[in-house]
Amino acid sequence: MPSVLDLPAADRPRERLRALGPSALTTSELLGLVFGTSAPGRSATEIAAAVISRAGGSLRRLGQLPLATLTDHPGLGEVRALAIQAALELGRRRAAEGADEGAPMRGPRDVWRFYAPRLEGLTVEEFHVAVLDAQHRLERDVLVSRGILNSSLVHPREVFREAIAERAASLVLVHNHPSGDPTPSADDRTITAQLVAAGRLLDIPIQDHVVIGRGRFVSFAETGLL
């Protein structure tokens, strides 16, 4: 494979980016530009291609690799590994910003469209509460816990504090399964039952609990678990 420096100036990734925009570049070329500089005997694009190949060609899998695994790759090092993690996190946040926060959440698919870009690629569980107004519009997204999901971390007090402050009409519970399988666990069912009971006491109904996996979701309301 020829070095980037061996290519005509107009064919080099940076020049093509300037002239044609980022969509004209391959994933390896884009990641190579994030690296910025080459290594002895290898261009940044070559290193990037090898790193992506190690992740099976998937940016999602690349984003899930721990820092130690990335730095173990020849020619990468900690600076480039951190650049990969930063670039992929920026992409995830950009995708999350694309969701329309003013759109009503009238069903689980609306919830999934809003939260999937934020949660699908995470390597740990996050438990969120969507605080809705009377028209089912999202008033506020509240991150309740991050890490292993259990009833000690997801306490009704933490879930309903913001709902009471916002005078919420209703809530939707949302969390992800890093395994990619959204099938609710026994803990998921226990937590949901506790929070639904608390919502009845506070007159703040829980409309649904949506568990997000990889490219799919499970709705407690739709499956009769609520």
pLDDT tens sequence across 72-103: 887 788 888 888 888 888 877 776 665 555 66
pLDDT tens sequence across 159-181: 898 889 888 999 999 999 999 99
Asked if 177 and 213 sit in the same domain, the reply is: yes
* pLDDT confidence bin for 16, thresholds 50/70/90: confident
Last residue of a domain, one of 43, 62, 96: 96
Asked if 122 and 213 sit in the same domain, the reply is: yes
Total tally of structural domains belonging to the chain: 2
pTM: 0.65
* Domain encompassing residue 108: 101-219
**Percentage of residues in the chain having pLDDT higher than 70:** 87
- Picking from 31-45, 89-103, 162-176, 210-224, which range would have the lowest pLDDT averaged per residue? 89-103
**Residue 79 φ then ψ, to 5°:** -60, -45
What pLDDT is stored for residue 39 in this prediction?
67
> C-alpha distances in angstroms, 47 versus 4, 26, 53?
12, 13, 10
Q: What is the mean pLDDT of residues 44-55?
A: 85
What pLDDT is stored for residue 129 in this prediction?
93
**Percentage of residues in the chain having pLDDT higher than 90:** 31
Asked if 56 and 81 sit in the same domain, the reply is: yes
29 contacts: CB under 8 Å, gap ≥ 6: 13, 16, 17, 45, 48
pLDDT exceeds 90 at position 21: no
